[in-house]
Amino acid sequence: MKHVLARYCRATAIFLFICMVAMAAIMNSLVVTRYFFSYSPSWTEEVTRYLMVWMVMLGAATLALFDDHITLYLFREKMGHRARLVHGIVVRAIVLAVAALTAWTGYVFAFSMWNILAPGSGLSMTLPTLAVPVSMTLIAIFAIIRILGDVRELAGGGPPELPEQSDIMDGSFKPADPE
C-alpha cells in the first residue's frame, strides 16, 4: 500500500509540474503574441484556468492523503491519543460522506457536459469539470485508508504504513511536533 501511494504522489507531482510548465509557456506565448502581434488567442486563458483547476483539485487530494489540510489544532492537541484517533475517525467519516456525494454528483454533471464546448479552445467541458469528481474520489479513497488505519491503531495495532510526507513535499500545515 505504501509503495502504491508513493507512486501516486510522485505521478501527481510530475503531472502538477507539467501543468505548471504548460501554464507558464501558454501565458508567456499570450504575452508575446499580445505585445508583438496585438493578438490574444482566446484559448490561452481558458486552458490555463482548466490546468489550474486540475492542479488545485489533485493537490487537495494529496493533502487529504497526508491529513494535512488547514485544521484548527487548538482542541486536538489537548486530547489524549485514543481521543485523537476517535476524533480522526469521525472527521474522516464526514469527509468520506461529503467526498462520495460530491464525486457522484460531479461525475453525473461532468458527463452531462460532454456536448458543451468551451468557446475559445473548443474543448469539451467534461475535461475541466472532471477535476472535481476525480479529486473527490481520491479523497474518499484516502479517507477510507486513514479510517482503517485509525481503527487498526485504536484496536491495538500499529499506525498505518503510509509514505512520509517529507519524501513527497517540503511543507506542511501541521504544527511542529514538540521535541
pLDDT by residue (tens digit) across 86-132? Answer: 988 999 999 999 999 999 999 999 999 999 998 888 899 999 999 99
74 CB burial (10 A radius; 0-12, 13-18, 19+): exposed
> How far apart are alpha carbons 151 and 143 in whole angstroms?
12
The pTM for the full model equals 0.84
> How far apart are alpha carbons 90 and 71 in whole angstroms?
15
Residue 172: pLDDT band (50, 70, 90) is low
pLDDT at 175: 55
Give the Cβ contact number of residue 2 at 10 Å: 11
Asked which of 40-44, 126-130, 132-136 is least confident by mean pLDDT, the reply is 40-44
Compute the residue count for the chain. 179
CA 164 to chain CA centroid, nearest Å:
17
- The angle, 0 to 180 degrees and rounded to 10, between the axes of the packed helices 43-65 and 2-37 is 160
Average of pLDDT values for 68-93? Answer: 81
Residue 77: pLDDT band (50, 70, 90) is confident
